[in-house]
Amino acid sequence: MNQYIPIRYFFLLLSLIALAELLLMLTIDPMMEAHGYPVWIRAMADAGLLTLICVPFMLNLQLRPMQMAYHDPLTGMPNRQLFNDRLDHALVVARREKRSFAVVFLDLDNFKPINDKFGHRIGDVVLKLAAVRIESELRESDTVARIGGDEFALLLADAESTADAECVINKITATLSRPFEVRGHKLELGVSAGIAFYPADGSSGIELIDFADDAMYRNKNIRKSLEAAQKPEVGLRPSGSESI
């Protein structure tokens, strides 16, 4: 990612410095001159105040590319890169302390039909609202990332058993099952999830991610098969009935 400051920000900074210097010349400088402060003290005061005004602005410009590099621009969540970094750190801690943790992959069922029918603007709103609901069910020690499309990944650092991870998934499923009301539309989502545990399901980040991803798609396919089996077959008549 480009780490250089865009030219528009450079001119914005120059304008900020000019405005700050003008304000100092009209306010602070006359006051200090009236009280008999020498020129060099007034110059130091000007420099100090300009620094206080401009340094936060410069830091924001420098940190913004880093923020964009590690966070999803739509939801503000960590992205795949930051998730992988935290997963690597969790592996180091787990190996040292001989403990377990869980990686969970989530997929929002029924999101694609919503996106296709109502458009990307409403789809983006639903994704942001879903992200807020997911985050609300996690602990501070957990990490949730949007890794692309309607897929999210969870790092449950304190999950020691399947029951711990399933408890989190059940809470997320419950909160996402409540309808989303967006611009007059009442929209409903579902959740498919897959769980991987360290070290039972993998000893590296890649192995854990692949296991959780595969488990999620297996569960999604099972759910679709069950839903299809429960739907009545169109065009079939009960045995012994007569056609009219």
Task: Tell me if residue 3 falls in helix, strand or coil.
Answer: coil
**Contact criterion met (CB below 8 Å) for 51 and 17:** no
Say how far residue 61 (Cα) sits from the centre of its chain: 21
The tokens for 61 are: 């410009």
- Residue 201 CB contacts under 8 Å (≥ 6 apart), including other chains: 207, 208, 211, 212
Q: Which residues are catalytic?
A: 150
Burial profile 74-90: b = 16 or more Cβ within 10 angstroms, e = fewer: ebebbbbebbbebbeeb
Task: Tell me if residue 200 falls in helix, strand or coil.
Answer: coil
Q: Give the C-alpha separation, 167 to 169, whole Å.
A: 5
The number of C-alpha atoms within 13 Å of 157 and in the hemisphere containing its C-beta is: 19
